[in-house]
Amino acid sequence: MLLISTYKLEKSFAGRTLFRNVSLGIEEGERVGLVGPNGAGKSTLLRILAGQMDADSGDVTGKKGLRLGFLEQTPVFKPNETIMEAILSKCRDQQESLGPAYEWMARLELSQFGEDFLVQDLSGGWRKRVALARELILEPELLMLDEPTNHLDVTSIMWLENFLERAPFATLIITHDRLFLQRVTNKIFDLDPKNPNYLLAINGGYLEYLEAKDILLRGQEQRELVMKNTLRRETEWLRRGAKARQTKQKARIERAGTLKDDVAEISSKNLARVAKIEFKDAERNPQKLMHVENISKAYDGRVLFNDFTYLVNPKTRLALLGDNGTGKSTLIRILLGQELPDSGKVSRADKLKVAYFEQNRETLKPKESVLKNIVSEGDYVHYQGQYVFARSYLERFLFSRQQMDLPVEKLSGGEQSRLRLAQLMLNEAQVLILDEPTNDLDVATLTVLEESLKDFNGAVILVTHDRYFMDQVASQIMAFHKRPDGNVTMENFAGYLQWEEWFEEQKELEAAALRREADERKAAAKAGGKPGKLSFKEKFELENMEKTILELEEKLGAAQLESGKPEVVSQASRVQELYKVIADIQSQLEKLYARWAELEKKEKGS
């Protein structure tokens, strides 16, 4: 069944056409990825579909009573809003929605904070989970997500992949994460001025889209060549001075004029405009740029790294991978000298030159113009040993003359990332430290950045959630793995997919260890001796604990089995109901195991 469709949508912004003649349709069960260059209007198209913005012309038609969810790129919450208030904020009957709200809190792992925790005190990744819960509680038939992986750590992205693969609703997703696209989509919409009528629709995943796009572009290049040859012949004929008296001659002259316009249009479509990224190498690079020896760091009794040694040299291409809070940013701050280790030694080369791309682009001055962020005074910047007109320099990064005078806060996330890269390229560097540089950048810009980092003569230390980008740039991945006891271990890998395989094995091993502990507690309870100072009520509770847990585990297994049946997966309401049951049982089991341990401790200690 068709959920939503458009007919010849057109939208312009600040005198520039974003897109025109865009006609599309999304059906039940489709997993659609929306891709295209920065500035093509992808987020604008999503807002038009969501009814948050009007098109200049064209129609949007939705199924009658369509339930639509929209996870924005930067979710907005009210000041001092709690997690529960935020999740329920769009519900018509909040009292009736309390059960599903607790379910989504559990499934999205928000229960650890509590329902009264303020959303504003959460990190960007956790705020995105709250916003996702706010949409999912509405039981959408179509969920639209704008850059959902931004600010999420890798394990959260893997969780989101698994969730969306099994989701009982259609999805429309804007993302530049190529592995994410390949895993969660079965259809691609490519919004690009190079395409006929701006939109190219491909049935299949990201790989099928790449093949189709390549064929289209090669075909357009061939068509441009044929049209240029035809135009050249027509122009030569006209120059020979043929008299335009006959109807045939007049038609030929008119055709030449039309052909000239067509050639100009297709040449414009075929013109590849990508940012020119080239970092300025230092004149000399000593072999020992940074060296940490036997350093240790802990927070609140939790060890982040212990007795860690690492040498950064000009050939270093290191990616740091791990959940938020495992120590990646701490290690970067120690390398930069912004924080001291608890023990160990940190040494840096004399007069070391480091270029640092901050995750939140704090160096940018949001109230000042794009131009002023590049050059505070004068009209020229010093780049690669020569003075370059500042506006011409910004054109390398695809900024129009009008944009250069805008305040930075008016730019999109991708444009702000390009501006920060433009700032970094003005400084000579021996070490590049890039913390989430890929957020909001389109695939074309990411590809150029990949090549630039490969060609850079100094060291590169990278933190990114873009796993394809990570694999292309890094020759070593250092993974920060959080153990069940809260401590962190550091493991080395040659590539991302090797880490992912290892990570899944670790999850299985840790789950098996937890099951063994539970079995040991059960066995100890069964073989336990005479109870000590337990009340009659506590003795009864302890004696019946195993039976209660077994009954709940049977119910949990049955609910999980039913939720995976094909005939159930297609019923959104039943799936939601089962997930609530599963979440409730898991919560009860956690409390029972904790209570069991408490009673046993009391009994043994008496």
Q: Model confidence over 493-514: pLDDT tens digits?
A: 999 999 999 998 988 888 888 7
Residues of the chain falling short of pLDDT 70: 220-275, 525-533, 536, 564, 566, 568-573, 575-576, 579, 604-606
Pair 187, 229 in one domain: no
Please name which of 182, 218, 221, 215 lies closest in space to residue 35, comparing C-alpha atoms: 182
Pair 325, 470 in one domain: yes
Provide the token pair at 521: 């507690």
How many structural domains are present in the chain? 4
User: In this structure, what CATH number is given to the domain that contains residue 458?
Assistant: 3.40.50.300
Is position 124 within any domain? Answer: yes
Is position 521 within any domain? Answer: no
Pair 447, 548 in one domain: no
- Answer whether 361's CB lies under 8 Å from 418's CB: no
Task: State how far the Cα of 530 lies from the Cα of 527, in Å rounded to an integer.
Answer: 10
Is position 186 within any domain? Answer: yes
- Answer whether 412's CB lies under 8 Å from 441's CB: no
Please name which of 551, 554, 541 lies closest in space to residue 594, comparing C-alpha atoms: 541
Last residue in a domain, options 501, 518, 552: 501
Pair 343, 437 in one domain: yes
Pair 330, 465 in one domain: yes
Last residue in a domain, options 242, 270, 298: 270
Q: What string of DSSP letters covers 185-242?
A: -SEEEEE-TTSTTSEEEEES-HHHHHHHHHHHHHHHHHHHHHHHHHHHHHHHHHHTT-
Is position 507 within any domain? Answer: no
Is position 32 within any domain? Answer: yes
Provide the token pair at 518: 């539970």
Pair 252, 386 in one domain: no
Pair 287, 262 in one domain: no
pLDDT tens column, 169-193: 999 999 988 899 989 999 999 998 8
Three-state secondary-structure class, residue 461: strand
- Answer whether 369's CB lies under 8 Å from 349's CB: no
Pair 101, 183 in one domain: yes
Q: What is the dihedral of CA 335, 337, 342, 348, to 10 degrees?
A: 60
- Residue 245: per-residue pLDDT: 45
Find all residues with CB under 8 Å of 450, minimum gap 6, and list them: 469, 472, 473
Burial of 93 (0-12, 13-18, 19+ CB in 10 A): exposed
Task: State how far the Cα of 31 lies from the Cα of 349, in Å rounded to an integer.
Answer: 50
Is position 517 within any domain? Answer: no
User: What is the edge-to-edge ordering of all strands in the sheet holding 343-348?
Assistant: 302-312, 290-299, 343-348
Pair 74, 198 in one domain: yes
Pair 441, 497 in one domain: yes
Provide the token pair at 268: 């414009």
Residue 572 neighbours by CB distance under 10 Å? 15
Last residue in a domain, options 248, 270, 292: 270
Please name which of 301, 407, 315, 399 lies closest in space to residue 364, comparing C-alpha atoms: 407
Domain of 53?
2-211
User: In this structure, what CATH number is given to the domain that contains residue 547?
Assistant: 1.10.287.380
Pair 87, 228 in one domain: no
The residue assigned the tokens 């389109």 is 442
0.75 exceeded by pTM:
no
Is position 523 within any domain? Answer: no
Task: Tell me the CB-side half-sphere exposure of residue 243, using CA atoms within 13 A.
Answer: 2
Is position 275 within any domain? Answer: no
Pair 310, 434 in one domain: yes
Residue 34 neighbours by CB distance under 10 Å? 26
Q: Is the dihedral of CA 63, 71, 471, 315 positive or negative?
A: positive
Task: State how far the Cα of 492 lies from the Cα of 490, in Å rounded to an integer.
Answer: 7
Provide the token pair at 223: 């068509």
